[in-house]
Structure 1
Amino acid sequence: MKIFRKEVFTILILTFLSLNAICQEKTSSVSDLDTKSEKTVKKKKKKRKKVKLPEIDLSHWKVTLPVANENGKPYEIDPPGILDFASNEIARPYMYIDSTKGAIVFYTLPTDSKTANTKYTRSELREQMEPGNNNVNWTFKQGGILKGKISLEEITKDSEGKFHRTIIMQIHGRLTNEQKELIGAKDNNAPPILKIYWDKGKIRVKTKVLKNLNASYEEMLHEEAWGDDDGFNFEQQVDFRKFTLEVRVTDGKMVVILNNNEYKVYENIHMKKWGIFENYFKAGNYFQSRDKGAFAKVNFYELEVEH
């Protein structure tokens, strides 16, 4: 009888240990499955996060591209057509969305398709206050604000091993039709009062100065009445990192701000005299080289205009 109880007890112990091992194995398996499931979900979330779209409303911009249209002039897309630029096969090589970065990429290289009064090509936006109409613009008295978040994606070097440069923002002057007729100009083009360059990893600003401060109204309308200033370099080295630029214009004053902590203020007689012109903002990649094989890619993550 004692032997029988002992055998039963031994069997019960062995059964308990076996069941416990099975439970632990199942628990481990469930735990492993949970861990694998969590990893799968995290991977899916990461993949979803990679798809981004730039925060840019193009309804008041047209684009000029470094490729010719059927008339041999630079190909342009006005609103509302520009809103569908991503599916435009002609535009696709020069203006496209990088959804991993959340940016519109502007790609430019030297071609024979250039706008009037320049030797360089561009993939660049031109502000249109009234969509599709170049004749509605603004003065310094009316004012304006341009804000952008940008990075230089890629740019080639010259024969001396130095990076080429490109213009990423502008304020361009424009003659009214009346001013054009007054001076007998062939078009409405006026000088750019502001050019902002990516120049060897730094942000460089150029503006215009009136050569003769006693010039008459009619004399000031001529392009040759205005010369280039010496230029200004911000201290920060942006290189290929993201940076922000803001341009604020009011009557007789222009302020350029880099990364919200470096300012260049223009408030002088030249800014006051410039008040005779209408203006429009430009943004993108106006590449400053004709070297063979040269090119540049500029990313715009954000772009905003206020008037």
Structure 2
Amino acid sequence: MKNFRKEILGLIVIVFLSVSATCQEKTSSSADSNSKVEKKDKKRKKKKKYKLPEIDLSHWSVTTPELNHKGSAMNIEPPEILDYATDERLLPYMYNDSTLGALVFYSFPSDATTANTKYTRSELREQMVPGDNNTNWTFADGAYMKGKLQMGDVSKSSDGKYHKVIIMQIHGRLTNEQRDLIGQKDNNAPPILKIYWQDGKIRVKTKELKNLSASDNEILGKDAWDDDKGFTFEQEVGFSKFTLEVEVSDGKMVVILNKNEYAVYDSIHMKRWGVFENYFKAGNYFQSRDEGAFAKVNYYELEVKH
């Protein structure tokens, strides 16, 4: 009888231990499952983090493809531009993509063109003094601009090629005295630098004097300058992010793509350009009038130094 009781007790102990182990396994499995769920939730939360572009707009104005009440292209200056994220006038053309962390510039053909062009733009204009276009810089002063950007989306023409977009510029400007000297109605001078996104590559265009013997007064007119043949960087950027730098010094201009390709301009044309004041431009200067055409340019970083 004693032996029988011992056997029964032994069986009870074995059953108890087995049940206990099973429960522990289930508990452990449940804990592991909960841990995995928590990790997934954390990953999801991390993915949902909003990112903003690293761009200070306090020294930039912007022109958009929309008409203002005067029938000209809309232009917003500091400090109003700082509220671009809630400004209904700017929302369609300049807005944050918080998933990418980019400031998007959107443009398409419209009636909102600016002087001396048939094309529209959603483009920033540098203002060394916020709200003032009369304070600019010369090559002798020196200047530097760096942007981290990306072609977001762009339409194609009837021949199947992507439409061109100017993504950066250095624009010349006449002082009031120079303007009056040559009898011009406005202060516009030619752009000494235009950087294009063209067929997935970066193309640079600059200006050359038609007559190197022309006087300093004679070269103030737009007719004194012509486009050069242009230069295309070897690297194809496509729709990937890339970095552009522009360095300006007395008689010299350097354009750098991704810190490994350089376009250097230090000819007599650059030296003679020293008579002009200048300002930087960046964004989306769309180069098409095709119906239904459009482009989006994503800027992640933009900085200027003098």
Say yes or no: TM over 0.5: yes
Deviations 1:199-219 (A, max 9, x none): 111111010011111111211
Letter of the structure 1 residue corresponding to residue 124 of structure 2: L
Letter of the structure 2 residue corresponding to residue 38 of structure 1: K
Letter of the structure 2 residue corresponding to residue 30 of structure 1: A
Q: What is the number of equivalent residue pairs in this alignment?
A: 305
Q: Following TM superposition, by how much is the alpha carbon of 1:17 offset from its aligned partner in structure 2, in angstroms?
A: 2.0
- Unmatched runs of 5 consecutive residues or more in structure 1: none
Equivalent residue number for residue 266 of structure 1: 265
* TM-score with structure 1 setting the length: 0.97
**Distance in 2 of aligned mates of 1:202 and 1:7:** 85
Equivalent residue number for residue 169 of structure 2: 170
Equivalent residue number for residue 184 of structure 2: 185
Q: Following TM superposition, by how much is the alpha carbon of 1:153 offset from its aligned partner in structure 2, in angstroms?
A: 0.8
Q: Could you say if the C-alpha distance between residues 269 and 38 of structure 1 is closer, same or farther in structure 2, counting changes exceeding 3 Å?
A: same
SS of the counterpart of 1:286? strand
Q: Following TM superposition, by how much is the alpha carbon of 1:24 offset from its aligned partner in structure 2, in angstroms?
A: 2.3
**Distance in 2 of aligned mates of 1:174 and 1:191:** 8
* TM-score with structure 2 setting the length: 0.97
Q: Write out aligned runs for 1:210-249 (5 A).
A: 210-249=209-248
Equivalent residue number for residue 111 of structure 1: 110
SS of the counterpart of 1:59? coil
Q: Write out aligned runs for 1:94-173 (5 A).
A: 94-173=93-172
Q: Following TM superposition, by how much is the alpha carbon of 1:34 offset from its aligned partner in structure 2, in angstroms?
A: 2.0
SS of the counterpart of 2:156? coil
Letter of the structure 2 residue corresponding to residue 24 of structure 1: E
Q: Following TM superposition, by how much is the alpha carbon of 1:287 offset from its aligned partner in structure 2, in angstroms?
A: 0.5
**Distance in 1 of aligned mates of 2:27 and 2:236:** 58
Q: Following TM superposition, by how much is the alpha carbon of 1:30 offset from its aligned partner in structure 2, in angstroms?
A: 2.1
**Distance in 1 of aligned mates of 2:226 and 2:6:** 112
Q: Following TM superposition, by how much is the alpha carbon of 1:25 offset from its aligned partner in structure 2, in angstroms?
A: 2.0
Equivalent residue number for residue 30 of structure 2: 29
SS of the counterpart of 1:86? coil
Equivalent residue number for residue 47 of structure 1: 48
SS of the counterpart of 2:85? helix
Deviations 1:149-185 (A, max 9, x none): 1111111111111111010000000000000110110
**Distance in 2 of aligned mates of 1:295 and 1:24:** 60
Letter of the structure 1 residue corresponding to residue 302 of structure 2: L
**Distance in 1 of aligned mates of 2:136 and 2:76:** 18
- Unmatched runs of 5 consecutive residues or more in structure 2: none
Q: Following TM superposition, by how much is the alpha carbon of 1:40 offset from its aligned partner in structure 2, in angstroms?
A: 1.6
Equivalent residue number for residue 293 of structure 2: 294
**Distance in 1 of aligned mates of 2:161 and 2:182:** 41
SS of the counterpart of 1:31? helix
Quote the RMSD (CA, aligned, Å). Answer: 1.0
SS of the counterpart of 2:232? strand
SS of the counterpart of 1:34? helix
Deviations 1:265-288 (A, max 9, x none): 000111010000000000010011
4+ runs deviating over 6 angstroms? none
